[in-house]
């Protein structure tokens, strides 16, 4: 249930709604929108009577939410969520008019590799830097990441290039360490239903980049986001990265139909990862173009200074000059769909953003 407050409702009246719901064993989440403040109630699934809240001063109406995901639902919040990240002198908003591109290698391999990748992707217009420190690999015998050493290199990249960092946390025990270094906590596809990890990142002050599980339905994906939000962390960024199908011309099948479906059902921003989504370098740029055309809020792209030598995911990593071309192409498409990139000329008119 959500309790929508009247526009002129006072803080005290909002607090009274929270107090009442907490006395009923519920958790109250305050959602400040442009037009109205909403108190979203989560907790027990039992029947609630709207009357219990509509009789309180300052309340406009109490509305049951039909979807199983409550906080992630557009029914609860009609406006798009904007997630603020970045560094104080280089702020970035995910979910606004600017398409945000996160780029960097699959894994941090050395300081030289990370710095070369950061210098090139920054020059081409990436706003955040990615790089794995702890790698959840299919085989226990392949490169598992440099761990803490990689986190320290990421901290140097942040300092040197002024870019915010995105890196993955692989379990609840590892989260405190990753949290110290990263600006956005990534939860990988294989962990999308690791509920103890979801709850842990839900208690973090860092925004979370949540990747879709390899066979997750839209509802399962949004329920995973709900786990994070139910703990009080509302800064969730979704990411489509392909699902497992019978197709063997591609590593995964990038499900771009998910983007408009998410936009309809949820206020959360969604990025697309055409690197893991295809697993093949030559498919990354075409699907990045398509992702922007279909309404994604940005991209996450693997770029390596020498993909042939990469310790993981070299086949799908772009060369720096290919990433430059990707940025150029998506900047052109951005203008058509009413979005911008850092490389755009001043904002175009005649938008078709939904």
Of 58 and 105, which CB lies nearer to Mn ion in the complex structure? 105
Residue 211's binding partner among Mn ion, ligand PEP, none (Cβ under 5 to 8 angstroms by kind) is ligand PEP
Strand 128-130 to 270-272 pairing: unpaired
In whole angstroms, give the CA distance from residue 153 to residue 147: 10
Residue 125's binding partner among Mn ion, ligand PEP, none (Cβ under 5 to 8 angstroms by kind) is none
209 in contact with Mn ion (CB under 5 A): no
Contact residue for Mn ion among 106, 133, 303, 311 (CB under 5 A): 106
Q: For 91, list phi and psi in degrees, rounded to 5.
A: -70, 145
In whole angstroms, give the CA distance from residue 77 to residue 316: 37
29 in contact with ligand PEP (CB under 6 A): no
Residue carrying the six token digits 């956005």: 184
118 in contact with ligand PEP (CB under 6 A): no
99 in contact with Mn ion (CB under 5 A): no
251 in contact with ligand PEP (CB under 6 A): no
Residue 283's binding partner among ligand PEP, Mn ion, none (Cβ under 5 to 8 angstroms by kind) is none
Residue carrying the six token digits 């946390």: 169
- Select from 199, 289, 234, 241 the least CA-distant residue to 80: 234
Contact residue for ligand PEP among 241, 267, 283, 304 (CB under 6 A): 241
Contact residue for ligand PEP among 86, 132, 202, 274 (CB under 6 A): 132
* 171 contact partners, CB below 8 Å, separation of at least 6: 191, 194, 197
Sole window of 75-83, 153-161, 185-193, 228-236 interacting with ligand PEP (rule: CB under 6 A): 185-193
* 183 contact partners, CB below 8 Å, separation of at least 6: 85, 86, 87, 128, 158, 164, 165, 166, 206, 207
Residue 111's binding partner among Mn ion, ligand PEP, none (Cβ under 5 to 8 angstroms by kind) is none
* 187 contact partners, CB below 8 Å, separation of at least 6: 168, 169, 194, 197, 198, 201, 208, 209, 210, 211, 224
For CA atoms 70, 71, 73, 77, give the dihedral sign.
positive
In whole angstroms, give the CA distance from residue 266 to residue 69: 9
Considering the complex, what minimum distance in angstroms separates the CB of residue 59 from ligand PEP?
42
Contact residue for ligand PEP among 106, 185, 198, 268 (CB under 6 A): 106
Considering the complex, what minimum distance in angstroms separates the CB of residue 107 from Mn ion?
7
Q: For 166, list phi and psi in degrees, rounded to 5.
A: -125, 125
Considering the complex, what minimum distance in angstroms separates the CB of residue 311 from Mn ion?
10
Residues in 266-325 at the binding interface with ligand PEP, rule: CB under 6 A = 276
Residue 70's binding partner among Mn ion, ligand PEP, none (Cβ under 5 to 8 angstroms by kind) is none
Sites of contact with Mn ion (CB under 5 A): 106, 313
Sites of contact with ligand PEP (CB under 6 A): 106, 132, 188-190, 211, 241, 276
């Amino acid at each position: 249930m959500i309790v929508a407050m009247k526009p002129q409702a006072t803080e005290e009246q909002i607090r009274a709604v929270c107090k009442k719901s907490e006395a009923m064993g519920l958790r109250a989440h305050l959602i400040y929108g442009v037009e109205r403040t909403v108190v979203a109630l989560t907790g027990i699934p039992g029947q609630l009577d709207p009357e219990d809240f509509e009789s309180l001063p300052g309340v406009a109406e109490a509305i049951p939410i039909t979807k199983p995901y409550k906080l992630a639902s557009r029914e609860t919040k009609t406006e798009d969520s904007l997630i603020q990240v970045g560094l104080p002198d280089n702020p970035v908003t995910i979910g606004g008019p600017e398409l945000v591109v996160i780029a960097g290698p699959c894994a941090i391999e050395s300081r030289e590799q990370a710095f070369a990748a950061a210098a090139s992707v920054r020059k081409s217009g990436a706003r955040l830097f990615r790089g794995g420190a702890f790698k959840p690999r299919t085989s226990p015998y392949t490169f598992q990441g440099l761990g803490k050493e990689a986190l320290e290199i990421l901290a140097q990249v942040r300092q040197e290039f002024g870019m915010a960092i995105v890196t993955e946390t692989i379990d609840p025990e590892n989260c405190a360490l990753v949290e110290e270094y990263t600006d956005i906590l990534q939860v990988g596809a294989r962990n999308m239903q690791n509920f103890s990890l979801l709850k842990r990142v839900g208690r973090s002050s860092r925004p979370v980049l949540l990747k879709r599980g390899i066979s997750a339905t839209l509802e399962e994906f949004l329920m995973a986001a709900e786990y994070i939000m139910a703990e009080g962390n509302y800064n969730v960024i979704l990411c489509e990265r392909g699902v497992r199908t019978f197709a063997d011309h591609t590593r995964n099948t990038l499900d771009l139909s998910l983007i408009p479906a998410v936009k309809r059902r949820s206020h959360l921003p969604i990025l697309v990862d055409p690197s893991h989504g295809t697993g093949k370098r030559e498919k990354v740029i075409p699907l990045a173009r398509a992702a922007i055309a279909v309404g994604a809020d940005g991209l996450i792209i693997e770029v390596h200074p020498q993909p042939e030598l990469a310790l993981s995911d070299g086949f799908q990593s772009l060369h720096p000059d290919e990433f430059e071309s990707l940025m150029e192409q998506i900047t052109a498409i951005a203008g058509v769909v009413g979005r911008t990139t850092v490389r755009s000329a001043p904002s175009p008119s005649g938008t078709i953003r939904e």
